[in-house]
Amino acid sequence: MQESIATRKTEAVSTVGEGVKQSPGNERGKEQQMEHVLLVFTALLLVPLAALKAQEPAGFPYLLPAMKPVRPLSAAMERLYDDYLAPTPEANELYSTFKFTALEGLDYHNGDGTISRRDPSKVIRANGKYYVWFTHRQTAAPPRGPANGTATIPSTDWDLSEIWYATSDDGFKWQEQGVAIPRPSKPHPGWRSVSTADILIWKGRYYLYYQGFLEMSGKRGDDCPVTASVADSPDGPWTPYNKIVISNGAPGEWDQYSIHDPYPLAYKGKIYLYYKSDFNNAQPHVRAHGLATADDPLGPFTKHPLNPIMNSGHETTLFPFMEGIAAFAIHNGLEHNTIQYAPDGVNFKIAAVSSLMPVAAGPYVPDAFTDTKDGRGITWGLCHVTGVGERDKQHSILARFDCDLSRDVNDPAMKQTDLYLKPETYFSQGLGKGQREWRERAARQPEAP
The residue extents of the domains of the chain are 1-57, 91-427
Nearest to 220 by CA among 256, 257, 177, 188: 257
Alpha-carbon distance values, 369 to 164, 199, 264, 320 (Å): 22, 10, 9, 9
- What is the pLDDT, as a whole number, of residue 20? 37
CA dist 437 and 428 (Å) reads: 18
pLDDT at 126 (0 to 100): 98
Model confidence pLDDT, tens digit, residues 342-389: 999 999 999 999 999 999 999 999 999 999 999 999 999 999 999 999
**Predicted pLDDT at 5:** 32
Q: Distance between CA atoms of 151 and 192, rounded to whole angstroms?
A: 9
Round to whole Å and give the CA distance between 449 and 445: 12
Q: What is d(CA 449, CA 443) in angstroms, rounded to the nearest whole number?
A: 16
- For residue 333, the model assigns a pLDDT of 94
Pairing of strands 239-240, 226-231: antiparallel
Q: Are 303 and 278 in contact (CB under 8 A)?
A: no
DSSP for 200-226?
EEETTEEEEEEEEESS-TTSSSS-B-E
CATH number of 91-427: 2.115.10.20
Residues of the chain with pLDDT under 70: 1-54
Residue type, 25: G
Interval 295-305: pLDDT, tens: 999 999 999 99
Q: Are 131 and 362 in contact (CB under 8 A)?
A: no
What is the pairing mode between strands 324-329 and 338-342?
A: antiparallel
Q: Are 310 and 329 in contact (CB under 8 A)?
A: yes
